[in-house]
Amino acid sequence: MKKNAITSFIVMICLTMNSLASGSTASTYVTENTIESVISKLKINAEQSQFERIEKGVRQAAYFWKETDGSESDFALMCEVYSSKNANEREAMFLRMQDNIELILGSFNKISVGFKIPLHVEKGEILPIDRIYGGFSPEAHFNDDMFANQIAFITILNFPFYSLQEKTANAGQWSRLDWAYVRMGDLFKSRIPADVLQNYAQIVSDADAYISDYNIYMGNLVDKKGGIAFPSDMKLITHWGLRDELKSNYAQKNGLDKQATIYEVMLRIIKQDIPKSIINNSAFTWNPYTNKVFQGGTEVAFEMEKNLRYQQLLNLFQVTKGIDANSPHFPNYIQRKFDEEMEIPVEDVEKVFKEVLQSVEFKEVGKVIENRLGRKLQPWDIWYDGFKTRSTLDINLINSTLKAKYPNKEAFENDLPNILVKFGFSTDSANSIASKIIVDPSRGAGHAWGAMMKTDKARLRTRIAADGMDYKGYNIAIHEFGHNVEQTISLHDVDYYMLNGVPNTSFTEALAFVFQARDLELLGMEQQNDMKKHLDALDNLWSNAEIMGVSLVDIQVWRWLYAHPDATADELKQAVIQIAVETWNTYFAPVFGIKDSPILAIYSHMIDSPLYLSAYPIGQLIEFQFSNYISDKNFSSEIYRAFRQGRIIPQLWMKGAVGSEISAKPAIKAAAEAVEAVKKRK
């Protein structure tokens, strides 16, 4: 999971404006006569190569100019003084500006990381003051300040915004410098008030803290038979920890009973009748089947959590409306998330997801799983993990091996160069990348937080218990390490700072998945299997279908919120459950033979990072294509070659990396071949 508040902030202020991109203006202060006059004067002293940019830049700058910024003559003077007259002037201005942008955004990011350390890292008690610092947004006034000192206007004037359609049309002819100019033009496309941004940052921090502190003490759970099935010291965060524990029990004795118990816990969380007293609290015993709480063997009364989960989501929606009000061309979060941030329209994303979920291959993979399990599918089998070679290994042996190898965070951090060498990186490259990464013991499930200036370091967070790192923590750590490697290469090895990063979060997820899939290989524990290629294809389609279903729920929930802007938390809860059940019945019930499960509503990302989920399945499709492409090539060389492309548009990046656009068809085709291979092995 990639967490980067500054990246989210940049996306938040980068609100696409198609009417501006096409050259029209809705300015109510700077008149058309003034605009035309300014454009004509600028063209007289400029090279012809600057004419199109002048036309677009003047109109876009005029759109944002208010009476408080100065008179129309002040606007004209600003344009005359700061508009580049030729390509050399423009490039010199760009190089100076991108250095300053790196310093500004990098510093903001470093402050945010520092203030959130008590909330994100296991470093003792969280104090009330920590939540205030954690919710502080040092970049909240950035937009206001840049317009007030006219830097935003100068940026827009010289580096105007281009729509996704324009970017796509020009993709084949723009140079790397042109792309860097375009990304500079993505910086200032709205004037969202600082108080709105600060309020948004606080609500996001509150939601993140709610999820990060949501743990279940598994040793206090009573199973269906009335016994205690889990270790006394097992503490799992929802939903990630619960899900991963469920996955680990496919190869375990009495694993089915444990999975059923975890499923009951998830249902209680979704329905919000879970007792508040057992959340992040080891003082009580709880039977999730009967929903009874005990202390010292005696049943005690309890208060249900009662919609607190959905209140977090509702708070996010309400604060997002303040941003909507300042986004006239993309007036809702869904449009900004997909059309702007992902640069793939939501309809296109949904089409890809439904192609997988409605495929014959999805049903066929379900039949394969039933045969392997020797029983009918249950709703929690959306997380079936038996196609991976690790599913047949002794998890206790793996845990003991890892705890001895990584007793603390320093041991894992010191081993990062060795891990990269095992992946095929040279010793110099491995040491260089690892030197730019810091490992922290995470309070939450784990995440990667990249640096935003070359003098700073990326952060890798995973759970590390007092007795060392277990397999859950290790598996997450290798995933997050993939993020960190992407973050480091795409910051330090791209040719222009404004191109740092990747097209969208799906691409960093793709590399994280590439790393994560090789976790046992790094330990020398991966089992050799002549069916591995086919098993990987089955696993890819099945895991993709699971997260695609959740993503469809996430999207529909936000559509519902916009259709019901005055909803209460209880109404939202009922809507989320209904949407989850309907999505299940449409796409999963035909495969599972079970109707009306709300399990797709359990994901924590829906609460603290709405609409982020779609990045995962798109990332898995990218990972599948990328892994297949590099399977017979040098791993590290291909990683460098692909991720040095930086933040260009998604389909152009994919063409550069693997020669074709993002598609579900390769994954579906591979699954079909895998099903046939499995049938032949019987």
* pLDDT tier at 620, thresholds 50, 70, 90: confident
Residues 543 and 635 placed together within one structural domain of the fold: yes
Residues 629 and 582 placed together within one structural domain of the fold: yes
Q: Is the pLDDT of residue 502 over 70?
A: yes
Residues 355 and 445 placed together within one structural domain of the fold: no
Give pLDDT, residue 531: 86
C-alpha distances (whole Å) from 570 to each of 80, 465, 491 are: 57, 36, 44
Residue 338 lies in a domain: no
The C-alpha atoms of residue 526 and residue 276 are separated, in whole angstroms, by 41
Virtual torsion, Cα 354, 359, 365, 371, nearest 10 deg: 120
Give pLDDT, residue 328: 64
Residues 532 and 519 placed together within one structural domain of the fold: no
Model confidence, pTM: 0.79
Domain ranges, residue 607: 343-388+528-681
Residue 333 lies in a domain: no
The C-alpha atoms of residue 8 and residue 534 are separated, in whole angstroms, by 37
Among residues 210, 234, 252, the one where a domain terminates is: 210
Residue 321 lies in a domain: no
Mean pLDDT calculated for residue range 29-57? 97
* Continuous H helices in 87-150: 87-120, 128-135, 142-148
**Contact partners, residue 132, CB within 8 Å, separation at least 6:** none
Mean pLDDT calculated for residue range 505-532? 86
Rg (CA), the chain: 26
Among residues 487, 508, 523, the one where a domain terminates is: 523
The C-alpha atoms of residue 358 and residue 286 are separated, in whole angstroms, by 39
Residues 243 and 259 placed together within one structural domain of the fold: yes
Residues 223 and 240 placed together within one structural domain of the fold: yes
Mean pLDDT calculated for residue range 471-481? 94
Residues 143 and 237 placed together within one structural domain of the fold: no
Residues 172 and 47 placed together within one structural domain of the fold: yes
User: Which amino acid does the sequence have at 323?
Assistant: I
* pLDDT tier at 12, thresholds 50, 70, 90: very low
**Contact partners, residue 672, CB within 8 Å, separation at least 6:** 360, 361, 364
The C-alpha atoms of residue 501 and residue 109 are separated, in whole angstroms, by 14
Give pLDDT, residue 253: 78
Between strands 458-462 and 446-449, the pairing is: antiparallel
The C-alpha atoms of residue 347 and residue 329 are separated, in whole angstroms, by 18
Residues 368 and 513 placed together within one structural domain of the fold: no
Q: Is the pLDDT of residue 192 over 90?
A: no
The C-alpha atoms of residue 68 and residue 150 are separated, in whole angstroms, by 12
Residues 406 and 495 placed together within one structural domain of the fold: yes
Q: Give the count of beta carbons closer than 10 Å to the beta carbon of residue 483.
A: 27
Residues 284 and 298 placed together within one structural domain of the fold: yes
The C-alpha atoms of residue 40 and residue 59 are separated, in whole angstroms, by 12
* pLDDT tens for each residue of 52-79: 999 999 999 998 999 999 999 999 999 9
Residue 326 lies in a domain: no
* pLDDT tens for each residue of 252-299: 878 999 999 999 999 999 999 999 999 999 999 999 999 999 999 899
Among 96, 87, 82, 95, CA closest to 38: 82
Q: What rounded mean pLDDT belongs to the chain?
A: 91
* pLDDT tier at 389, thresholds 50, 70, 90: low
Greater confidence (205 vs 16) lies with 205
Three-class secondary structure of residue 458 per DSSP: strand
Q: Give the count of beta carbons closer than 10 Å to the beta carbon of residue 404.
A: 12
Element (H, E) at 274: none
| Spatial contact of 623 and 539, defined as CB atoms under 8 Å apart | no
Residues 536 and 426 placed together within one structural domain of the fold: no
Q: Is the pLDDT of residue 27 over 90?
A: no
Mean pLDDT calculated for residue range 398-425? 96
* pLDDT tens for each residue of 665-674: 999 999 999 9
Give pLDDT, residue 530: 72
Mean pLDDT calculated for residue range 302-314? 96
| Spatial contact of 330 and 336, defined as CB atoms under 8 Å apart | yes
Among residues 478, 506, 523, the one where a domain terminates is: 523
The C-alpha atoms of residue 188 and residue 16 are separated, in whole angstroms, by 10
Residue 320 lies in a domain: no
Q: How many structural domains comprise the chain?
A: 4
**Contact partners, residue 107, CB within 8 Å, separation at least 6:** 138, 453
Give 439's DSSP letter.
E
* pLDDT tens for each residue of 321-356: 989 887 766 789 998 999 888 998 899 999 999 999
Q: Please state the separation of Cα 276 from the chain's center in Å.
A: 29
